[in-house]
Structure 1
């Protein structure tokens, strides 16, 4: 079995499930830490800051991890905007985790003529917010979608996700968004740059074939599907492109 020098790791469904522990996920991170193997948590969740994610891992899932090991779609969005180098004005549809990352990076809110419109999951979404975003995009603002997830799992069932809001604005404006989060190349390239290893030295670990595993497949990074969450074991034989590796539990993976 190939030995990997670093790991890109999904959180929800892989290391924990909602508010519930996945003990094998906790043990997996501890094994990486004991072996001094670098890892980066890679999440499409823009509602929480890395600091909140870090605290949640510590208090709910028995995982102590440095803040530098948490890379969210919010941070990747800011990095992408910085690379474009336009005027630092933005209209954001999203929650505190996204807004904090953007505003702390020096971007100013502009409801009328922003250089960027950034759209993510927002549980307080209103029609007026959609209207402002539509007008700004029609005026030429760069349209950024933080992640393409159409649904968000919850105790009530599958809720509309960020991708559903972005699709609505794409229909209203006839403009396709630039997507940042998994499985897109932007977040993958930024994560590879951050962990400072070559793609062939890395393994992308996750439970969702459409986001986590496709991040690996689409970006030439080996992948490990753990069937503890979204994509079930019975689906594996019919997947269009097979993951590099599949396990039922992260306890089964030899680092």
Structure 2
């Protein structure tokens, strides 16, 4: 049995509105006893908040099946910078994840690591402080590299836009943990005893979702409901396993 891993923004919902074909597809999987996984680069929400966002569009997801770039980033920092001074830009999701890993967030000017997740309240002064922090020697880590994400009204700046702004000012190369890194799929496989052949990565963003699945080595399905159009995807040198208009068009796997 194939186990499906769904991106959220642009794949399952846009803003607070569910994508009907995705909701119906997920309901069908659950009716068959095939509980899906949800793999998001959104670092602003905690697992509980992501679970509530899914519930609001009629999808009842198991909390242990929700994976975010915030959780992956926190695990990476805990493994590689356990005793470091860490400064954070971001919302509840990344702060919760770091706290859960026992990482103490510092407000000092000179720190070892600056972690950047999406912060919808960020202003020029905070970006300027981040640039100075990195120039003082802090390692720049982004939860994810998404340049933009879809909403009901159009595209908005993603975390990658802000991380690259800081990186370009400072002349450094940031480290990104979320998709297209295969880390979250590796976590799913390890924690649930699954193989690459059993997993399917479904997403709307070729540069994050699809490349994540390709990097991991599993089946990939691109849906034309979000960031990257099917026309653009079909011009890529490395193709997804399937390119479909939406999840009502997925072949039997």
TM-score by length of 1: 0.88
Task: Write out the 4+ residue segments of structure 1 that deviate beyond 6 Å after TM superposition.
Answer: none
Tell me, yes or no, if structure 1 residue 73 matches structure 2 residue 69.
Answer: yes
- How far apart in 2 are the matches of 1:11 and 1:53? 9
1:97 is matched with 93
Correspondent of 2:225 among 221, 228, 239:
228
Structure 1 residue 181 displacement after superposition: 1.0
CA RMSD of superposed structures (Å): 2.2
**Distance (Å, rounded) in 1 between the aligned partners of 2:34 and 2:64:** 14
User: Cα distance 1:234–1:85, how it changes in 2: closer, same or farther (>3 A)?
Assistant: closer
Alignment of 1:200-215 (within 5 A): 200-215=197-212
Per-residue deviation, 1:98? 1.7
User: Any gaps of 5 or more consecutive residues in structure 1?
Assistant: none
- Structure 1 position 189, deviation (Å): 2.8
1:126 CA drift (Å): 3.0
* Matched positions, count: 251
Structure 2 counterpart of 1:108: 104
Q: Deviations over 1:86-109 (max 9, x none)?
A: 315321111122222222332222
Distance 1:240 1:246 in 2: 14
Partner of 2:166, secondary structure, is helix
* More displaced stretch, 88-97 vs 133-142: 133-142
Q: Distance in 2 between matches of 1:29 and 1:137?
A: 42
Question: 1:137 maps to what in 2?
Answer: 134
Matches within 5 A, 1:125-204: 125-154=122-151, 157-204=154-201
**Corresponding residue for residue 34 of structure 2:** 37
| Alpha-carbon separation, structure 2, partners of 1:153 and 1:229 | 6
Q: Is the 8 A contact 1:86 1:115 kept in 2?
A: no
* C-alpha contact 1:38 1:195 (8 A) present in aligned 2: no
- Separation in 2 of the partners of 1:136 and 1:237? 41
**SS of match in other structure, 2:234:** helix
**Where in structure 2 are there 5+ consecutive unaligned residues?**
none
2:145 touches 2:160 (CA, 8 Å); kept in 1?
Answer: yes
| Mapped partners of 1:236, 1:88: distance in 2 | 40
